[in-house]
Amino acid sequence: MSVVDNQAEANQSEAISAGDGPTMPRTQRSNPLRDPGDRRLPRVPEPCALVVFGVTGDLSRKKLLPAIYDLANRGLLPADFALLGFARRDWGDGDFESLARKAAKEHARTGWDEEVWERLSGNIKFVAGSFDDDMAFDQLASTLEELRASHGIKGNAAFYLSIPPTMFPVVLKQMERTRMADNSTAGGWRRVVVEKPFGHDLPSAKALNTLVDDVFTADDVFRIDHYLGKETVQNLMALRFANQLFEPVWNANYVDSVQITMAEDVGIAGRAGFYDATGAARDVLQNHLLQLLALTAMEEPVEFTADAIRTEKLKVLRAITLPADLSAYAVRGQYEQGWLAGERVRGYRAEEGVPADSKTESYAAVRLGIDTRRWAGVPFYVRTGKRLPRRVTEIAVLFKKAPHLPFSHTDTEELGHNQLVIRVQPDEGVTLKFGSKVPGSMMEVRDVSMDFLYGEAFTEASPEAYERLILDVMLGDATLFPRNEEVEASWRVIDPLEAFWQEQEPEPYRAGEWGPKGSDNMLARDGRSWRRP
């Protein structure tokens, strides 16, 4: 049964209003001779299947299945589409459909439409089995082959590995054995989506990359970092390269420093097994924040293509330098019990499943440099932490202060740095902070702010990151996916930090504070302070 009703003009119009382009007359939208580079119209993939391993896990239930429904609701799934779940459950198609329906209804971004779900539910299949079960994988391969005829998927399939990294080798070897990863055998494209963490250090990342590339071709591997699917992260490129206003001052001549913050008010949320073996630096700094840094600092690509953008990001990652004195400019911490939002919360070592003597950091901050002509001498302060006062992710570009020659000291004593702040979450938007005269008979200049909010400037809601990324996988658009060279370059930054921190106790900080005092001292040594989001 088709997911997309080809006669449903409303679906196409809704897709356009949801951020895929402006409304156009019907004749223009349906014109097959339109410019193939015109990205204003909805992009709909070829007929295909999406196979989700670990489909009963939290990521699948809270993000992947709702994203699939949202894409269907926006008319962005192909007319011939199949969703195939694989997990160790004694289920049939109906049991999986019930789980998927519940997950989509609870977590979908778009409104519930029973007709959309009915069309989608007819394309849902389930295969039960463990990852080391040859018969189960033989059945999975057979089911994909049956879907070629029954659902017209033409051999196209994407495989989403929503599973622990330790199981990657087993699953990949099974896919190699059954030749499910072979494009020529399938008669269409076969792609794989790999969730972070991409290894736990440089050697393991290289081993993982080798393993994946042995089974899939390099162009068919999509390493997913959901932060890169967020609308404001993509807007960073538009802000920089579509406007003449910012480029002339986007360099060491005018920028004093850059601060990149990812703060969470939650604890480890029952993930002790994963988090205590990983820590803040490996969990967030190595991927999310270094990717944000690369997008902030990269040069303008020659064209807006995956290869061109990833080439410029890689140049930045390879140019990152660590401070000579890590003891002064690399800080990690661990939260203790404290008060957060009026509630007393326990410390990290009191969390269920965490050893009482754990040295794992829940907070990490470091000063990085970028050894390029554009950024030489500009410090990039990067921090992430749990149990901080509020949830926020932002990139703050702080500009050098003007000489203020016409003004006396008292005129500008309350004036700070001009700032451009890109808010990634939760209040997506951009803030420009600059000085303005205070009304009155005296000359007094203070900071004021101009805010751009996505929710106020546009009537349509921003798609969830997984909507955009899953759609891009099916389209074969790798622009927002790091390639293996980027992953390895990031580990070359993180591994020396981890080696330095290995034998050290993390500095304590109370839940509800903005991290350990050592983090504030790190900036104070440079005559700076953290921006309070």
CATH topology of domain 228-400+479-524: Dihydrodipicolinate Reductase; domain 2 (3.30.360)
User: Helix (H, G, I), strand (E, B), or coil: what is residue 59?
Assistant: helix
Q: What is the DSSP code (8-state) at residue 202?
A: H
pLDDT, tens only, 293-322: 999 999 999 988 889 999 999 999 999 999
pLDDT, tens only, 191-225: 999 988 788 999 999 998 898 989 999 899 999 88
Q: How far apart are the first and last CA of the chain?
A: 49
Task: Point out the catalytic residue in the list 151, 288, 409, 417.
Answer: 288
Amino acid in position 445: V
Q: What percent of the chain has pLDDT over 90?
A: 60
Residue 10 binned pLDDT confidence (cut-offs 50, 70, 90) = very low
CATH topology of domain 9-195: Rossmann fold (3.40.50)
- pLDDT at 399 exceeding the cut of 80: yes
Q: Tell me the DSSP string of 17-52.
A: IIII-----HHHHT-TTS-TT--SSPP-PPSEEEEE
pLDDT, tens only, 132-184: 999 999 999 999 988 888 878 888 999 999 888 888 889 999 999 999 998 88
- pLDDT at 28 exceeding the cut of 90: no
Average pLDDT, integer, range 186-191: 88
Q: What percent of the chain has pLDDT over 70?
A: 89
Of the candidates 421, 436, 434, 431, the one whose C-alpha atom is nearest the C-alpha of residue 451 is: 431
- pLDDT at 34 exceeding the cut of 60: no
pLDDT, tens only, 234-267: 889 889 999 999 999 999 999 999 999 999 999 9
- pLDDT at 500 exceeding the cut of 90: yes
Write the CB contacts of 270 (distance below 8 Å, at least 6 apart in sequence).
Answer: 352, 353
Token reading at 5 = 């009703």
- pLDDT at 341 exceeding the cut of 60: yes
For the entire predicted model, the pTM comes to 0.86
Predicted local confidence at residue 296, as pLDDT = 97
Predicted local confidence at residue 62, as pLDDT = 92
User: What does pLDDT average to over the chain?
Assistant: 87
Asked whether this chain's domains 9-195 and 228-400+479-524 adopt the same fold, the reply is: no
Do 151 and 122 touch, CB atoms closer than 8 A? no
Among 23-27, 90-94, 260-264, 299-303, the minimum mean pLDDT is found in 23-27
**CA pair distance 449, 478, nearest whole angstrom:** 36
- Looking at per-residue pLDDT, the higher value among 460 and 201 belongs to 201
Is residue 288 annotated as part of the catalytic site, yes or no? Answer: yes
Among 164-168, 348-352, 438-442, the minimum mean pLDDT is found in 438-442
Residue 164 preceded by cis peptide, ω within 30: no
Do 394 and 263 touch, CB atoms closer than 8 A? no
Q: What is the DSSP code (8-state) at residue 438?
A: P
Average pLDDT, integer, range 436-451: 79
State how beta strands 445-453 and 429-437 pair: antiparallel
Domain range list for the chain: 9-195, 228-400+479-524
DSSP-assigned beta bridge partners for residue 321? 369
**CA pair distance 365, 525, nearest whole angstrom:** 14
Residue 469 binned pLDDT confidence (cut-offs 50, 70, 90) = very high
Instruction: Output the CA angle 78-221-209, nearest 5 degrees.
Output: 165
**What is the dihedral angle through the alpha carbons of 49, 53, 59, 63, rounded to the nearest 10 degrees?**
10
Predicted local confidence at residue 31, as pLDDT = 43
Residue 445 binned pLDDT confidence (cut-offs 50, 70, 90) = confident
Residue 474 binned pLDDT confidence (cut-offs 50, 70, 90) = very high
Do 419 and 431 touch, CB atoms closer than 8 A? yes
Instruction: Output the CA angle 134-139-141, nearest 5 degrees.
Output: 95
- pLDDT at 36 exceeding the cut of 80: no
